[in-house]
Chains A and B, each alone.
Chain A
Amino acid sequence: MITGEQKPIKEIIKIVELYKSLLILGCGTCVKTCFAGGEDEVAVLASALRLAFQKTGKKIQVKEFTIERQCENEFIQEAASEVAQSDAVLSLACGAGVQAIAKRYAAVPVLPGVNTTFIGIQESRGIFTEECSGCGNCELAKFGGICPVTRCAKKILNGPCGGSQNGKCEINPDTDCAWHLIIDRLTALDLMDNLKAYIPPKNWSTSLSGGPRKLIREDHII
């Protein structure tokens, strides 16, 4: 999933307080799972904002609405009338959702209420870890299913570096050394030969380095 984290309330207030009528728009998929922008988070943020505006004597109407996915047109459509009645939309979706809403509803400013963090998993309740960089050229087969591009702080393809100690990364004792995990896993799978092979420089043209990407599925275009 795509993970995100709600922005600090002070930052949110600063970007929304210019408007008279604000719609907080939640998203019921990824950001709901990581407790950043689902229906519950919309309700909590709305209450906090109302209270804050009351305290400072600002007359701003705060409305709440959540759709299943802000990144898909059929769901975005459901928010049309709510958006039309607001001066601004505070989207609690990921960056893709914010932009999809902005693209669809050109008449109102669409503001981000969440910092999109990464593509990851919920390792245990409340703990999310980054697993994929979306580089466009998956090489997990070589690395025992552990991605050094994402999980090694130096993106080393022929690792590990000299800073790996006791299975931890030099940048943070709480961060596992991806290469330590790769070696353990390939050893367990009896695939140590993978490690002896020289891995050539990565082709980054399929990543963001090649400019904004577009995926075209001719077979699905109607």
Chain B
Amino acid sequence: MKTEPLSNLQKILSQGKFAVTGECGPPRGANQDVIAKKIELLKGYVDAVNVTDNQTAIVRMSSIAASAHLVSAGLEPIMQMVVRDRNRIAIQSDIMGAYSLGIRNILCLSGDHQKFGSQPDALNVFDIDSMNLIRAVKDMRDQGKDMSGYDLDVAPAMFIGAAANPFADPFEYRVLRLAKKIDAGADFIQTQCIYNMDRFKEWIKRAADQGLTEKAFILGGVTPLKSAGMARYMNSKVAGMDVPDEIIKRMDGAAKDKQVEEGLKICIETIEQLREIDGVSGVHIMAIGWEEVVARIVKEAGLKK
């Protein structure tokens, strides 16, 4: 496969250009104008946009539908899909449907546990895990078969993404799991937000030593901090997040009305550092609910778009 790039994102990455992806959270309702507005803020500044799948287990417009709106508007989506809410039957069916709507990138995820969401009473599914999902999408694309081995009429050919968290424990195992995801079929990886650059560098060095950065494109994740309070909250309350003391101190050191600026400065510096690291193929800017800042970050970080 892969004679023609499957998506714009794959094209950019294959050309060795530093890719920029953004994020778009669908609305808590059926208002497509919200999507249109976010598209307007992001279009022209990013190569593709992650469309989240009921993130933090809060019910929202489906990622497939929202991704389809992006396709119509000429902005390439990376449809996120979690295994929390669908069994393998629904997953495969939705991927086929998504492909038919012009969606060409998928990010395979476990999904936040519903305990954190708006409807903690819900039954979760977890029929397969994110690793199995990656493999299923790859098999559909490369073998043209569904999970039962049935030959598909037209197989969905998706550029496959997965997530990695260099900051979760146990650290020694994180690279091994990355290797497993790439081996299962991940073409690109987007990481958890990077604030602890030392740990990220250690992780990507180990990945590079194993040849993993040659096998998949790694996009480092960044999220601009809005305040010192947010930095502290993310460090202590958000699962798998690591905000080192020096970052918190830097945010604290800025006057209240200057903290947003300081957060953006940190974010831009992080991107500049990422561009210098061997094995980093791009940046994933997660500014959910703050899409208007993405254009500024892209411009100031010198990511020509």
Q: Does B184 contact A (CB under 8 A)?
A: yes
Q: Mask for B77-91, Cβ within 8 A of A = 1, else 0? A: 000000110001000
Task: Report the interface size for chain B: residues with CB under 8 A from the other chain.
Answer: 35
Q: Please tell me if the beta carbons of A158 and B129 are within 8 angstroms of each other in the complex.
A: yes
User: Which residues does chain B contribute within 8 Å of A171, judged by CB atoms?
Assistant: 113, 115-116
B180 contacts which of A167, A196, A200 (Cβ < 8 Å)? A196
Q: Please tell me if the beta carbons of B129 and A157 are within 8 angstroms of each other in the complex.
A: yes
Q: Please tell me if the beta carbons of A160 and B126 are within 8 angstroms of each other in the complex.
A: no
Q: Does B290 contact A (CB under 8 A)?
A: no
Could you say which interface size class chain A belongs to? 20 to 34
B128 contacts which of A162, A195, A201 (Cβ < 8 Å)? A201
Q: Does A161 contact B (CB under 8 A)?
A: yes
State A167–B239 Cα separation when bound (angstroms): 12
Interface segment out of the listed A111-119, A122-130, A148-156: A148-156
User: Which residues does chain A contribute within 8 Å of B116, judged by CB atoms?
Assistant: 171
If A164-B168, A165-B169 touch, whether A198 touches B184 (CB-CB below 8 Å) is yes
Q: Does B300 contact A (CB under 8 A)?
A: no
Q: Of all chain B residues, which has the CB nearest A170?
A: B239
Q: Please tell me if the beta carbons of A154 and B110 are within 8 angstroms of each other in the complex.
A: yes
Q: Please tell me if the beta carbons of A201 and B88 are within 8 angstroms of each other in the complex.
A: yes
A156 contacts which of B88, B126, B192, B240 (Cβ < 8 Å)? B126
State A161–B84 Cα separation when bound (angstroms): 13
User: Which residues does chain A contribute within 8 Å of B164, judged by CB atoms?
Assistant: 162
Q: Please tell me if the beta carbons of A200 and B113 are within 8 angstroms of each other in the complex.
A: no
Q: Does B252 contact A (CB under 8 A)?
A: no
Q: Please tell me if the beta carbons of A154 and B126 are within 8 angstroms of each other in the complex.
A: yes
Q: Of all chain A residues, which has the CB nearest B127?
A: A204
State A154–B132 Cα separation when bound (angstroms): 13
Shortest Cβ gap from A211 to chain B (Å): 15
State A128–B110 Cα separation when bound (angstroms): 28
If A155-B129, A170-B113, A201-B132 touch, whether A162 touches B88 (CB-CB below 8 Å) is no
Top 6 nearest A-B pairs by Cβ distance? A162-B165, A170-B239, A158-B131, A163-B239, A155-B126, A162-B240
A→B interface (CB under 8 Å): 153-167, 170-171, 177, 180, 183-184, 195-196, 198-202, 204
B→A interface (CB under 8 Å): 83-84, 88, 110-111, 113, 115-116, 124, 126-132, 135-136, 147, 163-165, 168-170, 173, 176-177, 179-180, 183-184, 192, 239-240
